[in-house]
Chain A
Amino acid sequence: MHWTIYAGVAILLWGINGLFMKLGTNRVSARSMVIWVTVGFVVLLPWMWKLTSLAGLSTKVLMVGLIAGAVNGLGNWAVFACLERGAKASVAIPLTALYPLCTIALAMVFLRERPTGLQWIGIALAVAGGAMLSRESEQATAQQEQASCVR
């Protein structure tokens, strides 16, 4: 199969997932969502294990991968809590998709990487875009917080 079909599948599933996340947090708590999402990931484990194995990986790489998974799980909880507290999916999903900004900052500090000119443009757009996306009207914010307090 052509690679564009695989890429299209990724876009479709990740895009629809944003809707599932919002619809799910409308009905169950953020903590429950983390648990069920993890179950959804675990279901795919046997299939992935058929395609590869972890043999030959150093303890350091194993630990880095496991810690990355745990941090990813905490990030999932945070985005579900964000949606649970009334954030719109159309705001929360593009806003949290700006996470490469943080990755670049960490790589600059710990790996001494320097962003390219194009990346600096991306960083500037991300900061401006993130600030604008967060600009919910005070009335809407008050309604969201009131809804979360009632809950």
Chain B
Amino acid sequence: MQSEKARLPIWLRYALLCVFCWGLWGFLSKVGSAAASPLQMQILFTLGMLPVAIGMLLHMRGKLDRDRIGISYGLLSGVATGLGTLGYFAALRQQDASVVTPLTAVFPILTVALAFAVLRERLNKVQMGGMFLALASIVILSI
């Protein structure tokens, strides 16, 4: 019973896996960016994502979900991330990374606000406090 309670919920295990993968991505980006420009790295990231997407497609035996609205959100997610990254690189051409990176790192605030307004999501008090601490840390760690 005790071990059942201590078990991490599935969503949290995936979130931690994501933190690890993206953390490794950040580390490799740091290594690669010593020789390549951010835009060159972005091209390589896109090409590197292709085998993963193909692997997923093969795993699904080519049977992609056909919900058009869901597909639209997926495409919009890719384009929004890519264009946002290009905007970030454009800002870096005029201003130091020490200014641009912490500023753009506050993007989760917008997601939280939209999730509150559009999805009617509500955080408990502990999570609300955690969100502010997380945002503060995101800004500090990106300096």
Whether A and B are associated in the same complex: the answer reads yes
Using CB atoms and an 8 Å cutoff, list the residues of chain A in contact with chain B.
1-4, 6-24, 26-29, 31-45, 48-49, 51-54, 57-58, 61-62, 64-79, 81-83, 85-107, 110-111, 118-119, 121-126, 128-138, 141, 144-145, 148
What 1/0 mask marks residues of chain B from 111 to 143 whose CB sits below 8 Å from any chain A CB? 111111011010110110111111111101111
- Describe B's contact surface by its main secondary structure: helix
| Complex contacts, A22 vs chain B, CB 8 Å | 115, 119
Q: Which of B20, B59, B118 has the most CB of A within 10 A?
A: B20
Within 8 Å by CB of A132, from B53, B65, B130, lies B130
| Complex contacts, A135 vs chain B, CB 8 Å | 124, 126-127, 130
Q: Are B22 and A75 in contact (CB under 8 A)?
A: yes
| Complex contacts, A67 vs chain B, CB 8 Å | 28, 48
Q: Are B52 and A38 in contact (CB under 8 A)?
A: yes
Q: Which of B68-125 contact A (CB under 8 A)?
A: 69-71, 73-88, 90-91, 93-95, 100, 103-116, 118-119, 121, 123-124
Using CB atoms and an 8 Å cutoff, list the residues of chain B in contact with chain A.
5, 9-12, 14-15, 17-32, 35-37, 39-53, 56-57, 59-60, 64-65, 67, 69-71, 73-88, 90-91, 93-95, 100, 103-116, 118-119, 121, 123-124, 126-127, 129-138, 140-143
Q: A69-B49, A73-B48 are in contact. Are A90 and B131 (CB under 8 A)?
A: yes
